[in-house]
């Protein structure tokens, strides 16, 4: 007798014996056991809430670390900016001189600019017009041929660190010309 014949005969025997049983006597089906357990749902909800809380705490910690890093850099940058100003004055005094000293000053300024770029430190542009959020007008000059609030002279460069103003640009603005609105950052 083959395996298929044994299986058939066992199945036939089961059918013969089961023919007289009531349907109510059959064991419960799997569907009845798939009803969600309220305690299990409670644990799942608590897990999801705890996981969300943990994600929020991690995000806040990252933001606080970044804020502390920026605040520490702001203090250091404020101390460094007078040195940068003196370097720029030395470069202006050197002019087009091709001496080794002038070339060394230019190379030093280029290295400093590269470090500033890596750390998201940038000069505040002054060619876009006066912006009270970025520039400090410390003097004015009357010039009827130029629109009002045009930056005529940059007295001291301003800098930002990650879009946060560290030092405002000190500028001279024009008066007496046609009115123009203040330039705002986009």
CB 185 within 8 A of CB 131: yes
pTM of the model: 0.63
Q: Phi and psi at residue 173, in whole multiples of 5°?
A: -115, 165
pLDDT attached to residue 47: 94
Could you report the per-residue pLDDT of 158-180, keeping only the tens digit for each? 999 988 999 999 999 988 777 76
Residue 102 burial (C-beta neighbours within 10 Å; 0-12, 13-18, 19+):
middle
Q: Where do the domains of the chain lie, and which CATH numbers do they carry?
A: 40-119 (no CATH), 122-186 (2.30.22.10)
User: Among the residues of 23-122, which ranges form H helices?
Assistant: 38-94, 100-118
Pairing of β 159-161 and β 164-167: antiparallel
Residue 55 burial (C-beta neighbours within 10 Å; 0-12, 13-18, 19+):
exposed
The Cα 112–Cα 166 span in angstroms is: 17
pLDDT attached to residue 186: 44
The Cα 138–Cα 105 span in angstroms is: 29
The list of the chain residues with pLDDT below 70 reads: 1-34, 180-186
């Amino acid at each position: 007798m083959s395996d298929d014949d044994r299986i058939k005969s066992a199945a036939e025997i089961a059918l013969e014996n089961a023919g007289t049983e009531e349907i109510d006597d059959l064991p419960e089906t799997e569907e009845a056991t798939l009803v969600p357990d309220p305690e299990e749902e409670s644990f799942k909800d608590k897990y999801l809430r705890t996981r969300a809380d943990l994600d929020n705490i991690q995000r806040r910690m990252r933001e606080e670390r970044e804020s502390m890093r920026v605040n520490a850099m702001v203090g250091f940058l404020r101390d460094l900016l007078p040195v940068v100003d003196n370097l720029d004055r030395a470069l202006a005094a050197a002019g087009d001189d091709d001496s080794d000293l002038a070339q060394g000053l230019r190379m030093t300024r280029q290295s400093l600019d590269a470090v500033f770029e890596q750390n998201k430190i940038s000069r505040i542009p002054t060619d876009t017009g006066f912006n009270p959020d970025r520039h400090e007008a410390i003097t004015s000059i009357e010039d009827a041929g130029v629109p009002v609030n045009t930056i005529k002279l940059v007295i001291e460069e301003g800098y930002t660190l990650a879009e946060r103003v560290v030092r405002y640009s000190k500028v001279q603005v024009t008066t007496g010309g046609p009115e123009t609105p203040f330039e705002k950052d986009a």
